[in-house]
Structures are given as structure tokens and as C-alpha cells.
Amino acid sequence: MNASPRSTGSGKALLARALMPLAWCRRVILERWLRLWSLARLQEAIGHHLDPSNVILGAIELHGTRNIRFGRNAMIYPGVYLETQGAGLITIGDDVVLSRGVHIVAFERVQLGQGCMVGEYASIRDANHKLDPFSIRNADHVSEPIEIGANVWIGRGACVLMGASIGANSVVGANAVVTKPIGAQQIVGGVPARSLRQTPALDGLKVEPA
């Protein structure tokens, strides 16, 4: 004889209630240990001290020389990819947020100022392959540094390419491609990104230069 939907639902509710303490342990205790473990893994991988105020929410994929500098109070989501090659350097300022899937590649220098927020799956790369008629994969690179000012918001899926810079308090729209310098307090979007309007006056905002 089949159980009635009501009795099945009641059983699931009781089981869910019984599992709540286990769920709490996983959410509160295990996740805190995961963050601590992720911070320790990152510190070991880059070979120098990380301020404990940084919150590392999961595994970060590192490649190359791992020449990366963190400030304080960063929030780094799982799936972030950081790569440095040669003398390349990635500098992440205080209070920066890197969302899931962000890619940052530096052959020369990529600098993110204080309070920057980078949306999911955005890409910041200061190098390009040279063209080679036989093998692009094995061709050399050209590079120019990228500097992103304080309090910049880069939207989901945006690309910031070699030689670009973004002034403080600017916003880059989702899926935009930034190929040249952008001034301060600009809202940009499109491919290639162009200025749409200025950001509102930011009275009272106190952001120190990176």
C-alpha cells in the first residue's frame, strides 16, 4: 500500500528537522575551517604573509611565478584564476572583491585599487600573443600594464585588456571590453567600451589612492 502524500511530506519534514543540527555544523563550523584552510593554502602558495583580514572563500587557481600582493580585507570567491609570468606582478588593494571565476593575468603589472569590485567571470589581462603564421600558441607576448583606480566596479563578464586603465569611481558594464584608458567617474559599456555618462557626485566618499 502506497503512503499518502501527506504522510510522505510529514516524514520529510521530520527528517529535515532532525538534520538541521548537522546542516548548522556544516554551514558554520566547516565553512569557517574551509576559509581558514583556503587562506593557509594561498599563503603557502605565494610564499609570504597574508593579512588574516582577507577572506578566501574557496580554492584559488594559481599559475606562473605567483608574484601576487594582497592588501587587507579582500573578499575572494572560489574559482578565481591568478597568473603571473616573468617579472609580472598582480597587486590587489585593500577591500577588493574578486567574484567567482575572475581571471587576472600579468606579464608586466596589473594593479587593483582600494575598494574595487570585479564581477563574475571578468577578465583582466595585460598581455597578448604576437601573431605567428605557424604557431600562435608558441608565439611570444606583448604586454602593457593595467592600472585600475580606487572604488571601481567591473561588471560580470567584462574584459580589461593590455594598456587599458580605469580611473577611480568608474563603472564598467557587464560584458564590456575595455581597450584604452578610461577616466575617473565614468560609466562605460559596449565593445569596445565607450563612455556612457559620468557617475553621480560621490560626496563624502573617502577612498585613499592605492
Active site residues: 129
CB 197 within 8 A of CB 187: yes
CB within 8 Å of 55: residues ≥ 6 apart: 35, 39, 73, 74, 75, 76
Helical ranges in the chain per DSSP H:
5-24, 31-46
Beta carbons of 208 and 150 less than 8 angstroms apart: yes
Burial class of 8 by CB neighbour count within 10 A (0 to 12, 13 to 18, 19+): exposed
Q: Which of 191, 185, 139 is nearest to 160 (CA)?
A: 191
Q: How many CB atoms lie within 10 A of CB 170?
A: 24
Alpha carbons 73 and 120: distance in angstroms, whole number: 19
Parallel, antiparallel or unpaired: strands 117-118 and 153-154: parallel
Distance CA 117, CA 94 (A): 11
Residues in a beta bridge with 208: none
